[in-house]
Amino acid sequence: MRGERGEAFRFERLEVWDRAMVWAKRVYDVTASFPTVEQFGLTSQLRRAAVAVPSNIAEGTGRFSSIEFVRFLEIAYGSLMEAVCQCRLAADLDYLPSEEHAMLRSEAAELARMLSGLRAKRQEETGTR
């Protein structure tokens, strides 16, 4: 989404952020059918972890150094892994159909590769590891 003048924030130009937003929306869609008893448990926790992925990418672009940006990419990656774990639990509890679990897992694997690649690129640019 762009502002009135058509300009985009830096994070909105990143494909990994866009894909993370789509993934987070999918998580919201699939958790809508979770049992009501999980509203303040697994549903809430999984949604928070999924939203943290694009949020941390966005927050990282607002930092003034590549080192700080890399740290936020690492946090986004950690949140993604947390959400993948929670998706697995939801599937094991039969809250998440196997087809949807496989789709979320596949998309998460691609996001993980993208985050790792961007992290490595930024580290290379700054000479840090």
User: Could you tell me the residue ranges of all domains in the chain?
Assistant: 10-126
CATH dotted code for 10-126: 1.20.1440.60
pLDDT of residue 5: 58
pLDDT digits (tens, 9 = 90+) for 60-85: 999 989 899 999 999 999 999 999 99
**Local confidence band at 125 (pLDDT 50, 70, 90 cut-offs):** confident
- pLDDT tens for residues 5-49? 567 899 999 999 999 999 999 999 999 999 999 999 999 999 999
Nearest Cα to 27, choosing from 80, 92, 71, 69? Answer: 80
pLDDT at residue 129 tops 60:
yes
Q: How far apart are CA 129 and CA 32, in angstroms?
A: 40
State the pTM of this model. 0.92
